[in-house]
A and B are shown apart, each in its own frame.
Chain A
Amino acid sequence: MSYAAYVIAAYGVFVVVLLWDFVAPRIRTRQVLRAVRLLAARRQAARNAPSPQELKR
Protein backbone atom coordinates (compact mmCIF):
# COMPACT_ATOMS: atom_id res chain seq x y z
CA MET A 1 0.00 0.00 0.00
CA SER A 2 1.37 3.42 -0.98
CA TYR A 3 1.23 6.22 1.62
CA ALA A 4 0.52 3.53 4.23
CA ALA A 5 1.67 5.64 7.19
CA TYR A 6 -0.71 8.48 6.25
CA VAL A 7 -3.67 6.12 5.71
CA ILE A 8 -3.04 4.32 9.03
CA ALA A 9 -2.66 7.64 10.87
CA ALA A 10 -5.96 8.97 9.44
CA TYR A 11 -7.91 5.81 10.31
CA GLY A 12 -6.22 5.78 13.72
CA VAL A 13 -7.39 9.33 14.45
CA PHE A 14 -10.93 8.36 13.39
CA VAL A 15 -11.01 5.33 15.69
CA VAL A 16 -9.43 7.11 18.69
CA VAL A 17 -11.81 10.10 18.52
CA LEU A 18 -14.86 7.81 18.22
CA LEU A 19 -13.58 5.76 21.17
CA TRP A 20 -13.46 8.97 23.23
CA ASP A 21 -16.95 9.79 21.99
CA PHE A 22 -18.11 6.38 23.23
CA VAL A 23 -16.37 6.47 26.62
CA ALA A 24 -17.06 10.11 27.64
CA PRO A 25 -20.87 9.87 28.15
CA ARG A 26 -20.45 6.52 29.93
CA ILE A 27 -18.02 8.03 32.43
CA ARG A 28 -20.35 10.99 33.01
CA THR A 29 -23.40 8.75 33.54
CA ARG A 30 -21.46 6.63 36.07
CA GLN A 31 -20.22 9.73 37.89
CA VAL A 32 -23.75 11.14 38.19
CA LEU A 33 -25.25 7.85 39.42
CA ARG A 34 -22.35 7.36 41.87
CA ALA A 35 -22.80 10.89 43.25
CA VAL A 36 -26.55 10.30 43.70
CA ARG A 37 -25.89 6.95 45.41
CA LEU A 38 -23.30 8.44 47.81
CA LEU A 39 -25.55 11.36 48.69
CA ALA A 40 -28.48 9.01 49.39
CA ALA A 41 -26.24 6.81 51.57
CA ARG A 42 -24.98 9.83 53.52
CA ARG A 43 -28.53 11.07 54.14
CA GLN A 44 -29.60 7.60 55.23
CA ALA A 45 -26.63 7.35 57.62
CA ALA A 46 -27.47 10.76 59.08
CA ARG A 47 -31.07 9.66 59.67
CA ASN A 48 -29.98 6.39 61.37
CA ALA A 49 -27.29 7.94 63.57
CA PRO A 50 -28.12 8.19 67.33
CA SER A 51 -28.78 11.69 68.57
CA PRO A 52 -25.74 13.33 70.15
CA GLN A 53 -25.50 13.27 73.98
CA GLU A 54 -25.53 17.04 74.14
CA LEU A 55 -29.07 17.14 72.89
CA LYS A 56 -30.29 14.54 75.44
CA ARG A 57 -29.35 16.54 78.49
Chain B
Amino acid sequence: MSDMNPVVRWFHQLGSPPYFDRFAARWAPWAYALGVATMAVGMYLGLFVAPADYQQGDSFRILYVHVPSAWMSLAMFALMALYGAIALVWRIKLCEILAMACAPIGAAFTAITLVTGSIWGKPMWGTWWDWDPRLTSQLVLFFLYLGVIGLYAAIEDRRAAARAASLLAVVGVVMLPIIRYSVVWWNSLHQGQTIRVFGESSMDPSMLPPLLWMVAGTKFWALGSLLARARADNLQREAGKDWVRALAEAPR
Protein backbone atom coordinates (compact mmCIF):
# COMPACT_ATOMS: atom_id res chain seq x y z
CA MET B 1 0.00 0.00 0.00
CA SER B 2 2.89 2.37 0.84
CA ASP B 3 4.43 2.24 -2.67
CA MET B 4 1.02 2.63 -4.35
CA ASN B 5 0.38 5.60 -6.63
CA PRO B 6 -1.21 8.37 -4.46
CA VAL B 7 -4.19 8.78 -6.83
CA VAL B 8 -4.88 5.03 -6.87
CA ARG B 9 -4.50 4.93 -3.08
CA TRP B 10 -6.98 7.81 -2.74
CA PHE B 11 -9.53 5.91 -4.88
CA HIS B 12 -9.08 2.85 -2.67
CA GLN B 13 -9.57 4.99 0.45
CA LEU B 14 -12.67 6.61 -1.04
CA GLY B 15 -14.26 3.16 -1.21
CA SER B 16 -14.15 2.97 2.59
CA PRO B 17 -17.60 4.09 3.94
CA PRO B 18 -16.28 6.25 6.84
CA TYR B 19 -13.69 7.91 4.57
CA PHE B 20 -16.36 8.64 1.94
CA ASP B 21 -18.66 10.06 4.63
CA ARG B 22 -15.98 12.53 5.75
CA PHE B 23 -15.13 13.38 2.13
CA ALA B 24 -18.79 14.01 1.16
CA ALA B 25 -19.56 15.98 4.34
CA ARG B 26 -16.56 18.19 3.68
CA TRP B 27 -16.95 18.88 -0.05
CA ALA B 28 -20.73 18.85 -0.69
CA PRO B 29 -21.28 22.33 0.87
CA TRP B 30 -18.47 23.77 -1.26
CA ALA B 31 -19.93 22.31 -4.46
CA TYR B 32 -23.39 23.62 -3.54
CA ALA B 33 -21.98 27.09 -2.75
CA LEU B 34 -20.03 27.20 -6.01
CA GLY B 35 -23.15 26.07 -7.88
CA VAL B 36 -25.35 28.75 -6.27
CA ALA B 37 -22.79 31.51 -6.91
CA THR B 38 -22.26 30.48 -10.54
CA MET B 39 -25.98 30.13 -11.22
CA ALA B 40 -26.67 33.50 -9.55
CA VAL B 41 -24.31 35.17 -12.05
CA GLY B 42 -25.91 33.22 -14.91
CA MET B 43 -29.44 34.17 -13.84
CA TYR B 44 -28.51 37.84 -13.45
CA LEU B 45 -26.92 37.92 -16.91
CA GLY B 46 -29.77 35.92 -18.41
CA LEU B 47 -32.58 37.98 -16.92
CA PHE B 48 -31.13 41.50 -16.99
CA VAL B 49 -28.11 41.74 -19.31
CA ALA B 50 -28.74 39.51 -22.36
CA PRO B 51 -30.78 41.31 -25.04
CA ALA B 52 -34.34 40.18 -25.78
CA ASP B 53 -34.81 37.95 -28.80
CA TYR B 54 -36.13 39.75 -31.88
CA GLN B 55 -38.83 37.10 -32.44
CA GLN B 56 -39.51 35.54 -29.03
CA GLY B 57 -39.12 38.67 -26.90
CA ASP B 58 -38.18 37.95 -23.29
CA SER B 59 -39.67 34.44 -23.29
CA PHE B 60 -36.38 33.18 -24.75
CA ARG B 61 -34.80 33.80 -21.30
CA ILE B 62 -36.47 30.56 -20.18
CA LEU B 63 -33.81 28.69 -22.15
CA TYR B 64 -31.23 29.67 -19.51
CA VAL B 65 -32.89 27.28 -17.06
CA HIS B 66 -34.37 24.89 -19.63
CA VAL B 67 -31.27 24.01 -21.69
CA PRO B 68 -28.78 23.45 -18.80
CA SER B 69 -31.42 21.28 -17.07
CA ALA B 70 -31.98 19.27 -20.26
CA TRP B 71 -28.23 18.70 -20.63
CA MET B 72 -27.99 17.69 -16.97
CA SER B 73 -30.91 15.25 -17.36
CA LEU B 74 -28.90 13.41 -20.04
CA ALA B 75 -25.54 13.75 -18.27
CA MET B 76 -26.88 12.38 -14.97
CA PHE B 77 -28.38 9.37 -16.75
CA ALA B 78 -25.08 8.65 -18.50
CA LEU B 79 -23.24 8.97 -15.17
CA MET B 80 -25.80 6.74 -13.42
CA ALA B 81 -25.37 4.08 -16.12
CA LEU B 82 -21.57 4.32 -15.87
CA TYR B 83 -21.58 3.88 -12.09
CA GLY B 84 -24.23 1.16 -12.51
CA ALA B 85 -22.10 -0.73 -15.03
CA ILE B 86 -19.06 -0.54 -12.71
CA ALA B 87 -21.23 -1.71 -9.80
CA LEU B 88 -22.54 -4.64 -11.85
CA VAL B 89 -19.13 -5.75 -13.14
CA TRP B 90 -16.86 -5.12 -10.13
CA ARG B 91 -19.46 -5.09 -7.32
CA ILE B 92 -18.08 -1.88 -5.85
CA LYS B 93 -20.47 -0.78 -3.10
CA LEU B 94 -19.69 2.92 -3.43
CA CYS B 95 -20.50 2.81 -7.17
CA GLU B 96 -23.90 1.27 -6.34
CA ILE B 97 -24.54 4.14 -3.93
CA LEU B 98 -23.38 6.79 -6.40
CA ALA B 99 -25.46 5.28 -9.24
CA MET B 100 -28.58 5.35 -7.10
CA ALA B 101 -27.82 8.89 -5.91
CA CYS B 102 -27.77 10.06 -9.56
CA ALA B 103 -31.40 9.02 -10.13
CA PRO B 104 -33.31 11.64 -8.07
CA ILE B 105 -30.97 14.42 -9.24
CA GLY B 106 -31.48 13.45 -12.88
CA ALA B 107 -35.23 13.12 -12.31
CA ALA B 108 -35.30 16.63 -10.80
CA PHE B 109 -33.50 18.12 -13.80
CA THR B 110 -35.75 16.17 -16.20
CA ALA B 111 -38.85 17.49 -14.41
CA ILE B 112 -37.47 21.05 -14.68
CA THR B 113 -36.81 20.49 -18.40
CA LEU B 114 -40.34 19.24 -19.05
CA VAL B 115 -42.10 21.93 -17.01
CA THR B 116 -40.03 24.91 -18.18
CA GLY B 117 -40.32 23.67 -21.78
CA SER B 118 -44.06 23.50 -21.35
CA ILE B 119 -44.15 27.02 -19.87
CA TRP B 120 -42.14 28.30 -22.86
CA GLY B 121 -44.29 26.32 -25.32
CA LYS B 122 -47.58 27.90 -24.27
CA PRO B 123 -46.83 31.45 -25.55
CA MET B 124 -44.54 30.33 -28.41
CA TRP B 125 -46.30 27.22 -29.80
CA GLY B 126 -49.74 27.98 -28.41
CA THR B 127 -49.87 24.73 -26.42
CA TRP B 128 -48.55 23.40 -23.11
CA TRP B 129 -47.76 19.98 -24.58
CA ASP B 130 -47.36 18.19 -27.90
CA TRP B 131 -46.54 14.53 -28.54
CA ASP B 132 -43.45 15.64 -30.40
CA PRO B 133 -40.46 13.21 -30.60
CA ARG B 134 -38.18 15.37 -28.41
CA LEU B 135 -40.82 16.02 -25.76
CA THR B 136 -42.05 12.43 -25.73
CA SER B 137 -38.55 10.92 -25.50
CA GLN B 138 -37.72 13.32 -22.66
CA LEU B 139 -40.90 12.20 -20.87
CA VAL B 140 -39.84 8.56 -21.33
CA LEU B 141 -36.48 9.48 -19.75
CA PHE B 142 -38.37 10.89 -16.75
CA PHE B 143 -40.30 7.61 -16.40
CA LEU B 144 -37.02 5.67 -16.65
CA TYR B 145 -35.63 7.72 -13.77
CA LEU B 146 -38.80 6.99 -11.76
CA GLY B 147 -38.39 3.31 -12.65
CA VAL B 148 -34.82 3.26 -11.30
CA ILE B 149 -35.89 5.07 -8.10
CA GLY B 150 -38.90 2.78 -7.66
CA LEU B 151 -36.96 -0.42 -8.29
CA TYR B 152 -34.26 0.59 -5.81
CA ALA B 153 -36.93 1.31 -3.18
CA ALA B 154 -38.94 -1.85 -3.86
CA ILE B 155 -36.29 -4.49 -3.02
CA GLU B 156 -35.35 -4.86 0.63
CA ASP B 157 -31.78 -6.07 0.15
CA ARG B 158 -29.94 -2.81 -0.67
CA ARG B 159 -27.22 -4.42 -2.74
CA ALA B 160 -29.61 -6.57 -4.79
CA ALA B 161 -31.86 -3.51 -5.25
CA ALA B 162 -28.94 -1.38 -6.48
CA ARG B 163 -27.84 -4.08 -8.93
CA ALA B 164 -31.37 -4.50 -10.37
CA ALA B 165 -31.82 -0.72 -10.72
CA SER B 166 -28.31 -0.40 -12.22
CA LEU B 167 -29.25 -2.90 -14.91
CA LEU B 168 -32.31 -0.78 -15.79
CA ALA B 169 -30.04 2.29 -15.94
CA VAL B 170 -27.57 0.55 -18.26
CA VAL B 171 -30.37 -0.65 -20.57
CA GLY B 172 -31.99 2.81 -20.46
CA VAL B 173 -28.87 4.43 -21.94
CA VAL B 174 -30.37 3.59 -25.35
CA MET B 175 -32.70 6.57 -24.76
CA LEU B 176 -29.86 9.11 -24.74
CA PRO B 177 -29.03 9.09 -28.50
CA ILE B 178 -32.77 8.88 -29.26
CA ILE B 179 -33.36 12.10 -27.30
CA ARG B 180 -30.26 13.76 -28.70
CA TYR B 181 -31.06 13.02 -32.36
CA SER B 182 -34.88 13.07 -32.15
CA VAL B 183 -34.93 16.53 -33.74
CA VAL B 184 -32.81 15.22 -36.64
CA TRP B 185 -34.39 11.80 -37.22
CA TRP B 186 -38.04 12.90 -37.12
CA ASN B 187 -40.06 15.98 -38.03
CA SER B 188 -40.08 17.81 -34.75
CA LEU B 189 -41.85 20.90 -33.47
CA HIS B 190 -38.88 21.35 -31.14
CA GLN B 191 -36.10 23.46 -32.60
CA GLY B 192 -32.91 21.77 -33.79
CA GLN B 193 -29.45 22.14 -32.33
CA THR B 194 -28.47 25.81 -32.02
CA ILE B 195 -25.65 25.59 -29.46
CA ARG B 196 -22.52 23.64 -30.26
CA VAL B 197 -19.62 22.94 -27.93
CA PHE B 198 -17.44 22.24 -30.97
CA GLY B 199 -18.10 24.43 -33.99
CA GLU B 200 -20.08 27.59 -34.51
CA SER B 201 -23.35 28.08 -32.63
CA SER B 202 -26.29 29.65 -34.42
CA MET B 203 -27.11 31.55 -31.21
CA ASP B 204 -26.09 35.20 -31.07
CA PRO B 205 -22.81 35.54 -29.09
CA SER B 206 -24.37 38.17 -26.81
CA MET B 207 -26.83 35.52 -25.56
CA LEU B 208 -24.21 32.84 -24.90
CA PRO B 209 -22.40 33.90 -21.63
CA PRO B 210 -25.43 33.42 -19.29
CA LEU B 211 -25.92 29.94 -20.73
CA LEU B 212 -22.30 28.98 -20.07
CA TRP B 213 -22.57 30.24 -16.47
CA MET B 214 -25.77 28.26 -15.95
CA VAL B 215 -24.27 25.11 -17.49
CA ALA B 216 -21.27 25.36 -15.14
CA GLY B 217 -23.53 26.17 -12.16
CA THR B 218 -25.80 23.17 -12.67
CA LYS B 219 -22.70 20.91 -12.87
CA PHE B 220 -21.40 22.17 -9.51
CA TRP B 221 -24.88 21.87 -8.00
CA ALA B 222 -25.26 18.29 -9.23
CA LEU B 223 -21.88 17.41 -7.74
CA GLY B 224 -22.95 18.79 -4.34
CA SER B 225 -26.25 16.97 -4.52
CA LEU B 226 -24.56 13.72 -5.60
CA LEU B 227 -22.22 13.84 -2.59
CA ALA B 228 -25.05 14.75 -0.17
CA ARG B 229 -27.38 12.03 -1.46
CA ALA B 230 -24.66 9.39 -1.59
CA ARG B 231 -23.65 10.32 1.96
CA ALA B 232 -27.24 9.84 3.20
CA ASP B 233 -27.51 6.42 1.52
CA ASN B 234 -24.06 5.39 2.77
CA LEU B 235 -25.06 6.31 6.36
CA GLN B 236 -28.31 4.35 6.07
CA ARG B 237 -26.51 1.24 4.79
CA GLU B 238 -23.90 1.51 7.53
CA ALA B 239 -26.37 2.42 10.31
CA GLY B 240 -25.40 -0.61 12.40
CA LYS B 241 -21.68 0.19 12.42
CA ASP B 242 -19.78 1.80 15.31
CA TRP B 243 -18.48 4.72 13.25
CA VAL B 244 -22.06 5.81 12.41
CA ARG B 245 -23.07 5.54 16.09
CA ALA B 246 -20.06 7.64 17.06
CA LEU B 247 -21.02 10.20 14.41
CA ALA B 248 -24.67 10.25 15.57
CA GLU B 249 -23.68 10.71 19.21
CA ALA B 250 -20.98 13.29 18.52
CA PRO B 251 -21.88 16.77 19.85
CA ARG B 252 -22.73 19.25 17.09
Interface string of B236-252 (1 = CB under 8 A from A): 10010000110111000
Given contacts A11-B47, A11-B65, A29-B235, contact A2 B58 (CB under 8 A): yes
Tally of B interface residues using CB under 8 Å? 37
A7-B62, A11-B47 given; A32·B120 CB < 8 A = no
Pair B232/A32 contact, Cβ less than 8 Å = yes
Pairwise interchain contact B119-A4, C-beta atoms closer than 8 A: no
A residues in contact with B245, CB < 8 Å = 36-37, 40
Find out whether the CB atom of B249 lies under 8 angstroms from the CB atom of A37.
yes
Q: Are B52 and A7 in contact (CB under 8 A)?
A: no
Q: CA of A11 to CA of B247 in the docked complex: distance in angstroms? A: 38
Decide if B123 touches A29 in the complex (CB within 8 Å). no
| A25 CB–B CB distance under 8 Å | yes
Interface string of B207-234 (1 = CB under 8 A from A): 0000000000000010001001101100
* CA A18 to CA B72, docked complex, whole Å: 13
Q: Are A9's CB and B119's CB within 8 A?
A: yes
CB < 8 Å neighbour of B58 from A1, A13, A26: A1
Number of A-B contacts (CB under 8 A): 93
Contacts of A18 in B (CB 8 A): 108, 112, 221
- The smallest C-beta distance from B75 to any residue of chain A, in angstroms, reads 15
Known contacts: A14-B65, A35-B239. The answer to whether A6 contacts B248 by CB under 8 A is no
Q: A-side binding surface: helix, strand, loop or mixed?
A: helix
For A29, give its contact among B47, B61, B231 (CB under 8 Å). Answer: B231
Q: Is the CB of B123 within 8 A of A11?
A: no
For A13, what are the chain B residues with a Cβ–Cβ distance below 8 Å? 65, 112, 115-116, 119
Given contacts A3-B123, A7-B58, contact A20 B248 (CB under 8 A): no
Say if the beta carbon of A45 comes within 8 Å of chain B: no
Residue among B59, B221, B247 making CB contact with A2, cutoff 8 Å:
B59
In the docked arrangement, what's the CA distance between A9 and B120, Å? Answer: 10
Asked if B178 is an interface residue, CB under 8 A from chain A, the answer is: no
CB of A49 closer than 8 Å to a CB of B: no
Nearest-CB residue, chain B, relative to A26: B228
Of B32, B43, B116, B247, chain A has the most CB atoms within 10 Å of the CB of B116
**Does A34 interact with chain B (Cβ within 8 Å)?**
yes
Cβ B244 vs Cβ A36 within 8 A: yes
Q: How far is the CB of A20 from chain B (nearest CB, A)?
A: 7
* A18 (CB) vs chain B CBs: closest residue: B221
Least CB separation from B52: chain A residue: A2
* A33 smallest CB distance to B (angstroms): 4
On A, residues with C-beta under 8 Å from B are: 1-4, 6-7, 9-11, 13-14, 17-18, 20-22, 24-26, 28-29, 32-37, 40
- 8 extra interchain contacts, Cβ-Cβ under 8 A, other than A14-B116, A21-B108? A3-B57, A6-B123, A9-B119, A10-B115, A11-B47, A29-B232, A36-B245, A40-B248
